[in-house]
Structure 1
């Protein structure tokens, strides 16, 4: 979602993924885009999904293995999860 909505570099995307626990090199992100973007575009085209510009964020304080964390969830107008983010601090 970030890549399509904002002008992010492959390094930026790699950093965002790293913050979410996925450690990949920016060249890997580039290869993913080259390989999967056409496939995803065809799927999107078939379903004619609308792009929603209004997002809502839900914040929840949860306990994982005895430690409290903040769980953030971005949702669109229909309630579909767009992104999640787990953090130790607010």
Structure 2
């Protein structure tokens, strides 16, 4: 249950505005007009405060309702330009092609790969196998995650398959 304690507007109107802003590429002023058409007169600055305050709550609620993922993942990283800087985009998809997680990193090394795998495993569970390309950093990251899982007493070990052809789904 999402609590909007202290908010002077109806809960449905606030959540609708936050959802609409996050789902569609619309400005706060356009959203102000859309809400006015629906009978809710609200300022664009208030809409901004709603999005900043309630979007993490909505995201956490959606994450908790997420279905379990399949047991086989595909993982890859690529080099992209974000706001004028070159960064690595780590991505993981399941066997069906659904995006599991992504992360931007300045470096492509073992700590970055381990951080990505830790983040992806915490939200999606432990897969039985991960298909990666020939990257040594990704293999080292999975070995480190396996060591951490063993240290915490988890008997499941993540199998690593290194093949550039099986990874075509993500590329």
Deviation at 1:3, TM superposition (A): 1.8
Deviation at 1:17, TM superposition (A): 0.5
Equivalent position SS for 1:29: helix
Question: Which residue matches 1:82?
Answer: none
Unmatched tracts of structure 2, length 5 or more: 1-18, 68-171
CA-to-aligned-CA distance 1:19-71 (integer Å, 9 cap, x gap): 0000000000000001000011000100017xxxxxxxxxxxxxxxxxxxxxx
Choose which of 55, 61, 64 in structure 2 pairs with 1:37: 55
Deviation at 1:6, TM superposition (A): 1.8
More helix by share: 2
Question: Which residue matches 1:5?
Answer: 23
Deviation at 1:5, TM superposition (A): 2.7
Deviation at 1:2, TM superposition (A): 2.7
Q: Which moved more, 1:34-43 or 1:3-12?
A: 3-12
Unmatched tracts of structure 1, length 5 or more: 50-90
Mapped to 2, the partners of 1:46 and 1:16 lie a distance apart of 30
Choose which of 8, 15, 19 in structure 1 pairs with 2:33: 15
1:24 aligns with 2:24: no
Q: Give the number of the structure whose alpha-carbon radius of gyration is greater.
A: 2
State the superposition RMSD in angstroms. Answer: 1.4
Deviation at 1:4, TM superposition (A): 2.4
How many residue pairs align between the two structures? Answer: 49
Mapped to 1, the partners of 2:26 and 2:59 lie a distance apart of 19
